[in-house]
């Protein structure tokens, strides 16, 4: 079956086709959809490889597994919080925050987050939380849903940290060992991300109307 795009007939004098904004948005959507399809196929291949490796070890398959796992690892869009005043200090903070985000993003488990909070002494956690929110907005703009979902999870950890400190995080960690409660928390993370996305899109639409 031909791809629907191949079946489209575009008139040379079509105003929609010549409209630059529509063309860009369409291309972005198509690229995003292709990336999602590719990631889905790679995830399926990864599961198949894992099953084969469980039955019999194969060094080539193991290399392929590591390659796919690296490719599927969420990527983050780093955003700057620099201001004109104290620019050097702000840049140092951004660099430090970016490293922290990459560290937590590669293993966004609550156990890793608790260890990060307890062992991190030279990072302003309040500012880092703000950095996460800015980064979440950038990921939403770029359509990086997986990375955005990871950041949403980290933001929820911060929410619990503010509410009850590390002790509440430890209680949450214990409760997440229950599969049903883990599913509830995962749903909460997805809702947080979708709500953030909707809020950003609504703000964007409002600004567009004001122009």
Per residue in 50-63, pLDDT (tens digit) is 999 999 999 998 98
- Residue 2: predicted pLDDT: 38
Closest listed residue to residue 43, CA positions, set 74, 89, 13: 74
Q: What percent of the chain has pLDDT over 70?
A: 70
Choose between 132 and 13: higher pLDDT: 132
CA angle at 156 for the pair 73 and 147, rounded to the nearest 5°: 20
**Per-residue pLDDT at 113:** 94
Residue 169 pLDDT level (bands cut at 50, 70, 90): very high
- Convert the pLDDT of each residue in 182-195 to its tens digit: 999 999 999 999 99
Structural domain spans, the chain: 24-72, 93-206
Stretch 30-51: mean pLDDT = 79
| pLDDT at site 123 | 81
Which residue in the block uniquely carries the two structure tokens 């780093």? Answer: 78
Q: pLDDT tens for residues 66-109?
A: 888 877 776 666 555 443 334 444 445 667 888 888 889 888 99
Using a pLDDT cut of 90, give the percent of the chain over it: 32
At residue 173, the pLDDT reads 96
The string of DSSP codes covering the chain is: ---HHHH----TT-HHHH-HHHHHHHHHHHHHHHHHHHHHHHHHHHHHHHHHHHHS--HHHHHHHHHHHHHHS----------STTHHHHHHHHHHHHHHHHHHHHS--HHHHHHHHHH--SS-HHHHHHHHHHHHHHHHHHT-HHHHHHHHHHHHHHHHHHHHHHHHHHHHHHHTTSHHHHHHHHHHHHHHHHHHHHHHHHHHHHHHHH-
End-to-end CA gap in the chain: 43
CB 197 within 8 A of CB 143: no
Rounded Cα distance between 110 and 116, Å, is: 10
R_g (Cα) of the chain, nearest Å: 21
pTM: 0.61
């Amino acid at each position: 079956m031909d791809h629907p795009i191949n079946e489209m007939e575009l008139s040379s004098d079509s105003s929609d086709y010549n409209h630059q904004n529509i063309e860009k948005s369409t291309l972005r959507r198509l690229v995003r959809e292709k990336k999602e399809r590719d990631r889905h196929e790679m995830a399926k291949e990864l599961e198949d490889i894992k099953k084969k490796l469980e039955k019999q070890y194969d060094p080539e398959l193991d290399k392929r597994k590591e390659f796919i796992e690296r490719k599927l690892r969420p990527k983050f869009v780093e955003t700057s919080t620099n201001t004109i005043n104290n620019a050097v200090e702000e840049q140092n903070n951004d660099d430090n925050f970016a490293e922290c985000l990459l560290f937590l993003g590669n293993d966004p488990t609550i156990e890793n987050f608790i260890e990060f909070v307890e062992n991190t002494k030279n990072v302003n956690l309040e500012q880092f939380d703000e950095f996460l929110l800015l980064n979440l907005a950038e990921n939403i703009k770029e359509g990086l849903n997986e990375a955005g979902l990871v950041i949403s999870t980290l933001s929820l950890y911060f929410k619990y940290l503010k509410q009850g400190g590390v002790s509440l995080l430890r209680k949450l960690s214990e409760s997440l060992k229950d599969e049903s409660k883990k599913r509830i928390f995962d749903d909460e993370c997805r809702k947080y991300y979708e709500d953030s996305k909707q809020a950003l899109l609504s703000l964007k639409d409002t600004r567009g109307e004001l122009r």
